[in-house]
């Protein structure tokens, strides 16, 4: 029984993520026309179809693991972080400090990575794409947090240890980014670490607030840069 629960907890998010990736290959006659340029219209279609998948995963997770509903809140940032010496996380650190520290560090790394890959982008026009970047980021970060974090943690809690769940989340989220942005092996490493630390935040604060917030900021940087690049 426990083995079946673990298999479900890994396979459901994995299948959802595969569908999440394949939505980019929907035939044009299955896509909506939102009256924008083709590039932006494609992004909007991706977010709409992604939202359908994430809501479906949300309901499946709540049905199979009703206790997972307790994670659908901001979380208690006053909770202490489980120490990780190599990452500089101390037992005396609350998630106020840990969350703020990793938001800053991860955002800087993401920003540098995107800048180096889009040096020729018209950076002086950044404000013009900000509304679209915010729109895409809020939806995409929600979609990916539900699929790659909430579902993984909600379905596996009680069957695997916290550390094992964090690594499962890291491998699932890192793996999909081989084909994403950032992509390749560097993208796998960056996204894998992000998946690990954000899963840790959800487990320890008992809420998705930090994870969604940190992810949202990264997506603003990524989508803003992609839109500028076009």
Per-residue pLDDT, 163: 95
Q: How far is 4 from 6, CA to CA, in rounded Å?
A: 5
- Burial of residue 136, with CB atoms counted within 10 A of its CB: 0-12 exposed, 13-18 middle, 19 or more buried: buried
State how far the alpha carbon of 188 is from the alpha carbons of 29, 139, 185, 196, 216, in Å. 32, 22, 5, 12, 18
Per-residue pLDDT, 162: 95
> Nearest-CA neighbor of 198 among 165, 220, 175?
165
Per-residue pLDDT, 26: 66
Low-confidence ranges of the chain (pLDDT < 70): 1, 26-36, 180-182
Q: Where are the domains of the chain?
A: 2-229
Count of Cβ atoms closer than 10 Å to residue 99 Cβ: 23
Per-residue pLDDT, 62: 97
Per-residue pLDDT, 34: 63
The mean of the pLDDT values for the chain is 89
Per-residue pLDDT, 31: 62
Per-residue pLDDT, 203: 97
């Amino acid at each position: 029984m426990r083995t079946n629960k673990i298999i479900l907890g890994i396979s459901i998010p994995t299948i959802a993520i595969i569908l999440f990736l394949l939505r980019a290959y929907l035939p044009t006659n299955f896509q909506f026309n939102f009256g924008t340029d083709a590039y932006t219209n494609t992004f909007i279609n991706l977010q709409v179809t992604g939202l359908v998948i994430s809501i479906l995963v949300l309901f499946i997770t709540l049905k199979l693991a009703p206790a997972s509903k307790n994670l659908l809140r901001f979380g208690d940032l006053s909770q202490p972080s489980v120490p990780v010496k190599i990452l500089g996380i101390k037992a005396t650190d609350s998630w106020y400090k840990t969350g703020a520290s990793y938001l800053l560090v991860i955002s800087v790394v993401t920003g540098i990575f995107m800048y180096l890959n889009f040096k020729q982008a018209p950076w002086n026009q950044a404000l013009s794409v900000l509304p679209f970047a915010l729109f895409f980021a809020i939806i995409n970060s929600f979609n990916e947090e539900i699929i790659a974090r909430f579902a993984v943690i909600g379905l596996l809690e009680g069957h695997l240890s916290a550390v094992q769940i964090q690594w499962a989340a890291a491998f699932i989220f890192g793996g999909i980014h081989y084909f994403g942005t950032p992509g390749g092996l560097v993208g796998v490493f960056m996204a894998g670490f992000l998946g690990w630390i954000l899963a840790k935040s959800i487990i320890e604060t008992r809420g998705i607030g930090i994870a969604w917030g940190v992810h949202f900021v990264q997506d603003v940087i990524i989508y803003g840069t992609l839109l500028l690049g076009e």
